[in-house]
């Protein structure tokens, strides 16, 4: 028998995540011999290890594994020395209590198992339910689709909107199915491609074979797989055909319905209602059309070497063009502290000092083009003396093909366009007059004897029917070649009145106007077109105080300023769409009447000097241009 001595109890338990912990405790045992009891909480069985048991030499050292609930006996003896290991203070229990304990354990274990089974079965019932629901929804969908497509009652009357909705639904469904089929075909194609004996496929097949050694015929596997793919393709083709017949049926039914006289009438009514709907004009398009008539561009002249110490702080686009230009000025506050402020001006386009003559001209070509097509156009060069107006319009004194001005470029473009139109039966007559307005009087710049100008009274004549203007008694040149054009430009440059002022030794004190008239007739259609292009180089806009003019020059400056101010008023009136615009106030505005109003396209080029000493004039020019632009 075991005596009451210390013995060792080993217990192991596992937590929720399955980590097992082993505990070894020492306790008083009734035996002087050590026994090992291993008790597993989780599986409810106990291992009882008997160390050397001298009392029973027949059993020796042994381990006996017993299930819970079974009374533990060790070699015929009842296991009365088994201790419950879950209680920290180990109590000796008799066989009955141990049996109870084990039974309780197995009951709780059984209950836990039962719970688990119930939960799983509940979950599977829910899954089954939702699967059933899904299946029924799918069946319903298919049913309704078939009802709509195949079994439409023949005498049902549909409104056109219902048919439209059905059509749309059908379209969507068709698209979805097509997409699905496409995806399927793509996937299949990929699989078929993979069937080729690429190394990857070989590898995959081998892997498969290794895994399933029982399939010894590899080619058989491949064949089976291919047969499956072929079957799927057949199915898809059949599906496609079925869809096509369904659509055809649906379309024919729709046609039948729409062919009845009543439905035809309804459809016609719907169409006429749609056509009667007022078409709303896009506000932006409207704005562009209104704004398209008068535009303002700004160009900054580059400084020459001698002007390098007098450069104003003007910010303009560094390359080509932008829309903004800002002028810096130093402002001093009450305490005498200076601060630099910028005044910003926004125009349709701003060309920096690096802009080339070609770039400038490319931006005015639409106007030139429209003149050939029978509209009127007018381009002004405005700005103070020495700001680059003549350079823009005519080019430098000895121009090359690269720096020639707008006038020669425009006339050449007209020549080119007219030549192109010859193939369509158009024949054009192009004539030009080059005049200047000096002290509000017209002078002919193409006269070979300028002294004759003094005795002649030039008059502006407007033809209201054709919308053209001409100056009587001024020389009219038939612009039929580049050579004539060159002669015109040279003659005008020679005759242009130049007076010396304090600002610019070669300053032109008159407005020069190159008037090009185009008369086109189409020999095939008999159509006529008349267009006029006026290219105006305005006199310098500097203020009287600045120019330091006296006597004749003061008189010149007064006429210049007054005509520019009238021009401003007229442009304002045009932009504001005034009922009465007084063009007669100055010779300049009267001459340009037809080129400013109506559908005429007007472009004002405001020229800016880069010099600090010209800051006040620059500001005044920019303000004038802003006014023209903003009205």
Ligand X SMILES: Nc1ncnc2c1ncn2[C@@H]1O[C@H](COP(=O)(O)OP(=O)(O)OP(=O)(O)O)[C@@H](O)[C@H]1O
- The annotated binding site for ATP is made up of 383-390
Do the Cβ atoms of 285 and 275 come closer than 8 Å? no
Question: Binding segment for ligand X among 151-159, 429-437, 502-510, 579-587 (CB under 6 A)?
Answer: 502-510
Residue 387 makes contact with ligand X by CB under 6 A = yes
Distance of alpha carbon 212 from alpha carbon 197, whole angstroms: 20
Nearest residue (CB) to ligand X, 460 versus 618: 618
Choose, by CB under 6 A, the member of 84, 295, 389, 601 that binds ligand X: 389
Nearest residue (CB) to ligand X, 29 versus 355: 355
Contact string 158-197 vs ligand X (x = CB under 6 A): ----------------------------------------
Q: Which residue is nearest to ligand X (CB)?
A: 388
Tokens, residue 629: 């632009």
Nearest residue (CB) to ligand X, 366 versus 396: 396
Query: Per CB under 6 A, which of residues 88..147 are in contact with ligand X?
Result: none
Ranges of beta strands (E only) in 115-178 are none
Question: Binding segment for ligand X among 58-66, 176-184, 307-315, 378-386 (CB under 6 A)?
Answer: 378-386
Which is nearest to 444 in space by CA: 452, 435, 456, 432? 435
In the complex, the smallest distance separating the C-beta of residue 506 from ligand X, rounded to whole angstroms, is 7
Nearest residue (CB) to ligand X, 81 versus 607: 607
Query: Per CB under 6 A, which of residues 514..553 are in contact with ligand X?
Result: 540
Residue 408 makes contact with ligand X by CB under 6 A = no
Residue 409 makes contact with ligand X by CB under 6 A = no
Q: Which residues are annotated as a binding site?
A: 383-390
Question: Binding segment for ligand X among 104-112, 387-395, 547-555, 584-592 (CB under 6 A)?
Answer: 387-395
Residue 342's H or E segment, with its range, is: strand 338-351
Query: Per CB under 6 A, which of residues 250..279 are in contact with ligand X?
Result: none
State the alpha helices, DSSP H only, in 150-217. 160-195, 199-211
Residue 298 makes contact with ligand X by CB under 6 A = no
Choose, by CB under 6 A, the member of 316, 345, 391, 559 that binds ligand X: 391
Distance of alpha carbon 517 from alpha carbon 483, whole angstroms: 18
Question: Binding segment for ligand X among 50-58, 67-75, 504-512, 573-581 (CB under 6 A)?
Answer: 504-512
Question: Binding segment for ligand X among 270-278, 329-337, 386-394, 478-486 (CB under 6 A)?
Answer: 386-394
Distance of alpha carbon 210 from alpha carbon 202, whole angstroms: 12
Nearest residue (CB) to ligand X, 170 versus 504: 504
Distance of alpha carbon 275 from alpha carbon 270, whole angstroms: 9
Residue 512 makes contact with ligand X by CB under 6 A = no
Residue 301 makes contact with ligand X by CB under 6 A = yes
Residue 507 makes contact with ligand X by CB under 6 A = yes
Helix (H, G, I), strand (E, B) or coil at 266: helix
Exposure of 436 in the CB half-sphere (CA atoms within 13 A):
25
Q: What is the DSSP letter of 83?
A: B
For the chain, state the CA radius of gyration: 52
Max Cα–Cα distance, the chain, nearest Å: 161
**210: how many CB neighbours lie within 10 A of its CB?**
8
Contact string 591-610 vs ligand X (x = CB under 6 A): ----------------x---
DSSP 224-257: HHHHHHHHHHHHHHHHHHHHHHHHHHHHHHHHHH
Distance of alpha carbon 437 from alpha carbon 79, whole angstroms: 137
Residue 511 makes contact with ligand X by CB under 6 A = no
274 φ, ψ (degrees, to nearest 5) = -60, -40
Choose, by CB under 6 A, the member of 149, 376, 469, 504 that binds ligand X: 504
Distance of alpha carbon 535 from alpha carbon 447, whole angstroms: 19
Residue 69 makes contact with ligand X by CB under 6 A = no
In the complex, the smallest distance separating the C-beta of residue 470 from ligand X, rounded to whole angstroms, is 25
DSSP 591-614: HTHHHHSTT-EEEEEEEE--BSTT
Nearest residue (CB) to ligand X, 253 versus 436: 436
Do the Cβ atoms of 384 and 454 come closer than 8 Å? no
Residue 383 makes contact with ligand X by CB under 6 A = yes
Interface ranges with ligand X (CB under 6 A):
301-302, 383, 385-391, 396, 504, 507-508, 540, 607
């Amino acid at each position: 028998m075991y005596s009451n001595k210390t013995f060792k109890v080993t217990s192991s338990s596992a937590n929720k995540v399955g980590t097992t912990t082993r505990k070894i405790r020492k306790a008083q045992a009734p035996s002087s011999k050590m026994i090992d009891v291993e008790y597993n909480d989780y599986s409810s069985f106990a291992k009882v290890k008997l160390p050397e048991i001298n009392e029973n030499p027949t059993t020796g050292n042994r381990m006996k594994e017993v299930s819970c609930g079974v009374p533990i006996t060790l070699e015929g003896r009842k296991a009365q020395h088994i201790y419950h290991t879950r209680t920290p203070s180990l109590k000796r229990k008799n066989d009955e209590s141990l049996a109870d304990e084990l039974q309780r354990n197995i009951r709780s274990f059984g209950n836990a198992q039962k719970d688990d089974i119930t939960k799983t079965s509940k979950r599977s019932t829910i899954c089954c339910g939702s699967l059933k629901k899904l299946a029924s929804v799918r069946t319903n969908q298919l049913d309704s689709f078939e009802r709509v497509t195949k079994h439409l009652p023949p005498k049902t009357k549909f409104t056109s909107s219902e048919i439209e909705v059905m059509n749309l639904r059908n379209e969507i469904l068709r698209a979805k199915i097509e997409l699905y089929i496409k995806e399927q075909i793509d996937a299949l194609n990929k699989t078929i491609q993979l069937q080729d004996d690429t190394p990857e496929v070989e590898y995959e097949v081998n892997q498969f074979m290794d895994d399933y050694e029982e399939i010894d015929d590899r080619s058989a596997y491949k064949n089976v797989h291919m047969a499956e793919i072929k079957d799927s393709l057949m199915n898809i083709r059949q599906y496609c055909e079925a869809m096509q017949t369904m659509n055809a049926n649906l379309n024919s039914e729709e046609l039948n319905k729409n062919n009845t006289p009543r439905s035809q009438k309804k459809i016609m009514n719907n169409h006429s209602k749609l056509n009667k709907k007022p078409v709303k004009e896009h506000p932006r398009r409207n704005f562009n059309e209104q704004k398209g008539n008068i535009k303002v561009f700004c160009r900054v002249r580059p400084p020459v070497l001698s002007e390098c110490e007098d450069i104003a702080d003007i910010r303009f686009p560094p390359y080509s063009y932008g829309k903004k230009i800002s002028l810096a000025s130093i402002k001093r506050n009450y305490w005498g502290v200076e601060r630099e402020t910028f005044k910003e001006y926004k125009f349709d386009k701003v060309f920096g000092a690096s802009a080339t003559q070609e770039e400038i001209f490319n931006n005015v070509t639409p106007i030139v083009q429209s003149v050939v097509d029978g509209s009127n156009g007018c381009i002004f060069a405005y700005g103070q003396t020495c700001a680059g107006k003549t350079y823009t319009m005519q080019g430098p004194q000895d121009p090359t093909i690269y720096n020639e001005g707008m006038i020669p470029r425009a006339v050449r473009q007209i020549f080119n366009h007219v030549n192109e139109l010859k193939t369509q039966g158009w024949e054009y007559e192009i004539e030009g007059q080059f005049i200047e307005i000096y002290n509000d009087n017209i002078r002919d710049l193409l006269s070979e004897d300028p002294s004759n100008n003094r005795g002649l009274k030039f008059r502006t004549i407007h033809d209201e029917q054709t919308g053209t203007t001409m100056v009587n008694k001024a020389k009219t040149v038939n612009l039929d070649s580049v050579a004539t054009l060159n002669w015109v430009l040279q003659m005008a440059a020679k005759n242009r009145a130049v007076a010396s002022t304090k600002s610019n030794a070669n300053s032109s004190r008159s407005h020069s106007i190159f008037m090009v008239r185009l008369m086109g007739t189409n020999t095939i259609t008999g159509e006529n077109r008349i267009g006029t292009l006026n290219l105006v180089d305005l006199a310098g806009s500097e203020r009287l105080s600045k120019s330091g003019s006296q006597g004749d020059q003061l008189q010149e400056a007064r006429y210049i300023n007054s005509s520019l101010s009238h021009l401003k008023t007229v442009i304002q009136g045009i932009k504001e769409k005034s009922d009465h615009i007084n063009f007669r106030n100055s010779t300049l505005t009267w001459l340009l009447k037809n080129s400013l109003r109506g559908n005429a396209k007007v472009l004002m080029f405001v020229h800016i000097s880069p010099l600090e000493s010209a800051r006040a004039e620059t500001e005044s020019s920019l303000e004038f241009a802003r006014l023209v632009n903003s009205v």
